[in-house]
Structure 1
Amino acid sequence: MDEITFHTLLHRPGTLVDVGAHDGLIAIPLARLPSSRVIAFEPLPPAFARLQDALAREFGGLPAHVDCRAAALGDTAGEIILSMPVLDGVAQEQWASTAKDYRAHLSGRVTVERFAVPLLRLDDLAIADLTAMKVDAEGAEYEVLRGARETLLRCRPVLTLEIEERHREGSTWAVPAFLDALGYEVLFELRGEWHPVAALDRATMQRASPDPSVFEASDPYVFVFYALPREDAAGMLARLRAAS
């Protein structure tokens, strides 16, 4: 099941947050959901420009119910360096990260562009009706959630998270453990079946190179995880299984 289907099946009116919106692949479908307000965070300047252009094309102008923020999220507020690897002269935007600097992978093929970007805490926005959140932060997921702790406890949104050991070693343990402490069930879906995160075999399902010049990964490669508030998890999971 992809993230858009997940959020569509479990949609409730309210605010939806897209962390790492890039050029709108998920932000635009979220914005189409009924009675939705979307806050899309994208710190990489060229991607942010394309995000705004894509929204304007889709809705005939920037829609009033979508708030685009040229910022990264974390557990402090201020400024942070966003590092983006460039492979053979081609920007690897999908690898841009505030959690690592790629110094270990510099070579004749790999260089790095760095951007100083604003850093915000989601809790500081005081959102009262957050119903869903998507996080794709290339290794910074733990800090994003730490900075959203009070909002998660107050609003109990559903979440999708892209978590990869290649971007941050230990993240597939640390992020689910943090969410477990907040009363969330963390799951993954594989070939139509839903599994608890405890069933993740990292040696066979999360093996990939951290080097942007090396294209290799395990098969299957499980990197999208789903978090449901424990008090509602049984009913929500039943709906997801019925649609899988």
Structure 2
Amino acid sequence: MTIYYKFVRMSKFFIDLLFSVIKKENSIKKWERKIKRINLENNDILSKLLHDDDVFVDVGANTGSVTEELLKRKKLSLCILFEPIPVYYNYCKEKFSTSDNVIVENYALTDKKGEFSIFMSEQNFGWNTMIGSRASHDMKELSINGISFDEYIEKIPLKKINLIKIDVEGAEYKVLNGMKKTIAKYKPIIFCEIGFGKSLHPNWNEEVEIFEWIFNNGYKRIDYNVEKTQDVILYPLAN
């Protein structure tokens, strides 16, 4: 009887775990349908900035919906996705498992290699941040691996990088500081969300410094107004 009882308890545990995973996956799919509608305008802009055979880098890929949409519109030679949160990374890996021109990496892009904390919302699947002071009390803290893009790209020699999309909820200054060599060498178009804005960002000076560095290194501003959270395009003057 005791063995049977333990077996029933264990079976119930695994059944509950299975249904929890299924429920989570269904919730992510619902979120993805929603974010695809929200991103319609951004995807149109990104598509116009890209050409067939271009190389696209998606930083903060989430469910990979942006890359998925761009691949429908352009014959991109390579897409590199960075998603540090395991559940979204695995979702992207499965989604692009048959795509030879897509690499999915389980890293947070930052300014140095190491282990970091990220705060994950289990209610809003698009709200995950490495800025601890901006995390809400109900967010889950995860330990993740981080690397700078400059260090990462040493392992994958590329002739070009055409467009980098960054959506990292306030940590864009870390991402950009970690790709200075890449920016100087490849002069990619950068489509970046500036998180929180001037009044709320705890590291606003660092945010301003990296953008000023970019502008002083051959880039012009398009729709540049960082007083609040918004998407901006950083466009190389040579283009």
The normalised TM-score by structure 1 is 0.70
CA distance in 1, matches of 2:45, 2:125: 25
Task: Tell me which protein shows more helix as a share of its residues.
Answer: 2
1:151 aligns with 182
- Determine whether 1:100 maps to 2:132: yes
SS at match of 2:132: coil
The correspondence for 2:94, drawn from 20, 28, 53, is 53
SS at match of 1:93: coil
- Determine whether 1:168 maps to 2:201: yes
1:123 aligns with 150
CA distance in 2, matches of 1:10, 1:201: 21
Match of 2:71, as an amino acid?
A: A
Query: What's the Cα RMSD here?
Result: 2.3
Give yes or no for contact 1:42–1:69 (8 Å, CA) kept in 2: yes
CA distance in 2, matches of 1:102, 1:35: 36
Unaligned runs of 5+ in 2: 1-39
Task: Tell me which protein shows more strand as a share of its residues.
Answer: 1
1:73 aligns with 109
Alignment of 1:1-244 (within 5 A): 2-12=41-51, 13-32=53-72, 33-55=74-96, 61-85=97-121, 90-102=122-134, 105-106=136-137, 111-124=138-151, 125-126=153-154, 127-165=158-196, 168-169=201-202, 170=204, 173-188=208-223, 197=224, 200=225, 202=227, 206=228, 223-232=230-239
Deviations 1:86-138 (A, max 9, x none): xxxx43332211122546x43xxxx2211111101111113431111000011
Give yes or no for contact 1:81–1:98 (8 Å, CA) kept in 2: yes
1:212 aligns with none
Deviations 1:181-228 (A, max 9, x none): 22211222xxxxxxxx2xx373xxx2xxxxxxxxxxxxxxx6110110
Match of 2:167, as an amino acid?
A: D
> Offset of 1:40 from its aligned partner?
0.3
Unaligned runs of 5+ in 1: 56-60, 189-196, 207-221, 233-244
Identity %: 21
Give yes or no for contact 1:81–1:115 (8 Å, CA) kept in 2: yes
CA distance in 2, matches of 1:29, 1:112: 29
> Offset of 1:231 from its aligned partner?
2.2
> Offset of 1:17 from its aligned partner?
0.4
Deviations 1:154-183 (A, max 9, x none): 111111101122562537644532321222
CA distance in 2, matches of 1:35, 1:93: 27
Give yes or no for contact 1:100–1:139 (8 Å, CA) kept in 2: no
The normalised TM-score by structure 2 is 0.71
Q: Which runs of 4+ in 1 moved over 4 A?
A: none
1:216 aligns with none
- Equivalences, count: 190
2:13 aligns with none
Match of 2:44, as an amino acid?
A: T
Q: Determine which structure has more spread, i.e. the larger CA radius of gyration.
A: 2
SS at match of 1:177: helix
